[in-house]
């Protein structure tokens, strides 16, 4: 039997490095696993922000990272979803809420009832039946209780300034026992017989040996591509945007509890409010818009003066395999996504969750590697499809950018999902989906895809009962939202004004 696997080395930078090191250390330390982190120079910019999806809270719980403390240290905020709108009202806005829409009627799915009523002229939008969306649009934090949990799912994400979030995770990782090294360069030493990685040589001097290696180095894939030679599948045919711009603007007087995506002729601009700043992210195509024009478009869409501007290339695609030999790539080293829907951190999480489920006990792990590569490929492709649907279904006019976005390639799985939804209002969830049924429905309906029919079983429910249930649901939502604290008031009370050095001091 091969020796137990106990020495893990994580090579990378910024949040992916420290999230991977912290999570592996916290989860596998009881099994005798020791984690060493090799930190490469940061590539974060002062205007970078993470607009996380709700599952990030589970990792924070694993790391015993207190939420109030985190938001004090980072000056971040909560997010109940994202609002999508077009400049000058070119298309109706819609809200993607991190929660459920409606509640079952007569033990049957709410959406079918809404769809039938909508086709008969109901003037109430789908998002108005979402407790989470209603709270967000009223600027209120949603604190679940027994009544709201019985009503339906309510979730939240965060807006976290990237530099301060990475710093918090680094401090936490070292406190939990991760051994940390800094290096400008790291060269891999390979076993001449097996091709496995044996060690990393740092800056031509220090040698860090390990049995298992995590590549969190970003899109360049220092180990997975640079050393092990894993090639990449390009997703450019699905996405027209090839440039992103980040910037900061002044904070809102009261931080909204959602992000907002504003479509303009040359692309879209996202605004992500926090306690200290409002962060701006713009996606556009160099084929239709140069950088100065994009900067002017971002400033106009944000309606505020931009600061700390930086422009980067956007190149969506995935490694053909995320696990090769004794190395697993996480984050952009494994898969780079388009900027829409803020999935960057979630992709890191997915890789780590599946790695922990399949972490090898010893040196022979071909079966685990095969299964990991199957799952991550499927999960990444399902995220890609959700992002792609936003573009191919867009109603943002006939500019070069949005016309090209509608012509972009949709995968066979996405095409089937769109056609099924258009015909019957059903959005079939495939294996390894990240976005739940409510999210797919919100996106499809928000982009104007209204099904041609509904499932007939709901016709058994009398119209009077449906009307009563609609009124009950809307009344419950109004009652609950009015009970919730304003987001800014909750942040002030929840986060307090304590000194932000507390995590480093261990208090």
φ/ψ region of 390 (left if φ > 0, alpha if ψ in -120 to 50, else beta) reads alpha
**With contact defined as beta carbons under 8 Å apart, do 473 and 100 qualify?**
no
Both structure tokens of 231: 């090639």
Nearest-angstrom CA–CA distance, 111 and 129:
10
The one-digit pLDDT tens for each residue of the chain (507 residues) are 367 899 999 999 999 999 999 999 999 999 999 999 999 999 999 999 999 999 999 999 999 999 999 999 999 999 999 999 997 777 899 999 999 999 999 999 999 999 999 999 999 999 999 999 999 999 999 988 888 988 999 999 999 999 999 999 999 999 999 999 999 999 999 999 999 999 999 997 899 999 999 999 999 999 999 999 999 999 999 999 999 999 999 999 899 999 999 999 999 999 999 999 999 999 999 999 999 999 998 998 888 889 999 999 999 999 999 999 999 999 999 999 999 999 999 999 999 999 999 999 877 799 999 999 999 999 999 999 999 999 999 999 999 999 999 999 999 999 999 999 999 888 888 899 999 999 999 999 999 999 988 888 999 999 999 999 999 999 999 999 999 999 999 999 988 754 444 554 443
The pairing of beta strand 327-329 with beta strand 212-216: parallel
CB count, 10 Å around CB of 145?
11
**With contact defined as beta carbons under 8 Å apart, do 50 and 345 qualify?**
yes
Nearest-angstrom CA–CA distance, 292 and 280:
16
pLDDT of residue 2: 66
Q: How far is CA 22 from the centre of its chain?
A: 19
* 79 beta partners: 157
Query: What are the structural domains of the chain?
Result: 7-78+160-236+316-382 (3.50.50.60), 99-154+411-483 (no CATH), 243-313 (3.30.70)
pLDDT of residue 410: 98
Nearest-angstrom CA–CA distance, 407 and 479:
44
pLDDT of residue 504: 42
**With contact defined as beta carbons under 8 Å apart, do 176 and 122 qualify?**
no
Both structure tokens of 248: 């900061």
pLDDT of residue 305: 86
pLDDT of residue 287: 97
CA Rg value for the chain: 23
Exposure string of 345-378, with b = 16+ CB inside 10 Å and e = fewer, is: bbbbbbbbbbbeebbbeeeebeebbeebbebbbe
DSSP string, 273-286: E-SS-EEEEEEE-T
DSSP 8-class letter at 258: S
Query: For tokens 């600061």, what's the residue?
Result: 307
Both structure tokens of 378: 């499927």
**With contact defined as beta carbons under 8 Å apart, do 8 and 214 qualify?**
yes
């Amino acid at each position: 039997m091969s020796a137990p696997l106990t020495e893990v080395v994580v090579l990378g930078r910024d949040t992916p490095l420290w999230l991977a090191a912290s999570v592996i250390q916290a989860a596998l330390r009881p099994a005798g696993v020791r984690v060493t982190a090799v930190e490469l120079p940061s590539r974060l910019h002062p205007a970078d922000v993470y607009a996380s999806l709700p599952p990030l809270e589970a990792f924070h719980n694993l790391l015993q990272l207190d939420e109030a403390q985190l938001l004090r240290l980072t000056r971040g905020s909560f997010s109940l979803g994202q609002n999508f709108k077009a400049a000058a009202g070119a298309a109706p806005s819609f809200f993607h809420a991190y929660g459920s829409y409606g509640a079952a009627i007569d033990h049957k799915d709410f959406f079918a009832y809404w769809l039938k009523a909508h086709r008969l002229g109901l003037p109430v939008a789908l998002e108005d039946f979402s407790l989470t969306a209603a709270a967000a649009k009223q600027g209120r934090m949603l604190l679940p209780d027994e009544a709201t949990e019985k009503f339906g799912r309510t979730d939240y994400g965060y807006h976290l300034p990237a530099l301060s979030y990475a710093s918090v995770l680094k401090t936490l990782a070292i406190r939990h026992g991760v051994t940390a090294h800094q290096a400008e360069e790291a060269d891999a030493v390979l076993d001449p017989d097996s091709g496995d990685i044996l060690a990393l040589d740092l800056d031509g001097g220090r040698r860090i040996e390990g049995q298992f290696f995590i590549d969190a180095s970003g899109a360049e894939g220092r180990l997975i591509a640079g050393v092990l030679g894993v090639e990449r599948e390009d997703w450019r045919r699905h996405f027209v945007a090839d440039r992103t711009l980040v910037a900061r603007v002044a904070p809102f007087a009261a931080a909204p509890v959602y992000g907002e995506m504003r479509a303009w002729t040359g692309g879209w601009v996202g605004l992500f409010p926090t306690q200290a700043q409002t962060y701006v992210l713009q996606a556009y195509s160099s084929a239709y818009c140069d950088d100065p024009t994009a900067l002017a478009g971002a400033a106009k869409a944000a309606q505020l003066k931009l600061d700390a501007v930086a422009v980067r290339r956007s190149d969506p695609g995935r490694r053909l395999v995320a696990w090769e030999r004794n190395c697993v790539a996480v984050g952009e080293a494994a898969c780079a996504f388009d900027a829409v829907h803020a999935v960057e951190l979630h992709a890191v999480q997915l890789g780590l969750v599946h790695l922990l489920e399949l972490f090898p006990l010893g040196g022979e792990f071909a079966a685990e590697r095969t299964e990991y590569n199957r799952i991550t490929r499927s999960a990444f492709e399902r995220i890609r499809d959700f992002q792609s649907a936003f573009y191919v279904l867009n109603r943002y006019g006939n500019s070069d950018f949005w016309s090209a976005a509608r012509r972009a390639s949709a995968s066979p799985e996405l095409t089937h999902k769109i056609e099924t939804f258009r015909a019957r209002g059903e959005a079939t969830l495939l294996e390894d989906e990240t976005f739940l049924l409510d999210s797919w429905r919100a996106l499809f309906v928000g982009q104007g895809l209204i099904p041609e029919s509904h499932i007939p079983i709901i016709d058994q429910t009398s119209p009077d009962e449906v009307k009563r249930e609609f009124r009950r649901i809307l009344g419950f939502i109004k009652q609950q939202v009015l009970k919730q604290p304003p987001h800014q008031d909750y942040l002030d009370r929840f986060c307090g004004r304590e000194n932000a050095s507390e995590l480093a001091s261990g208090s």
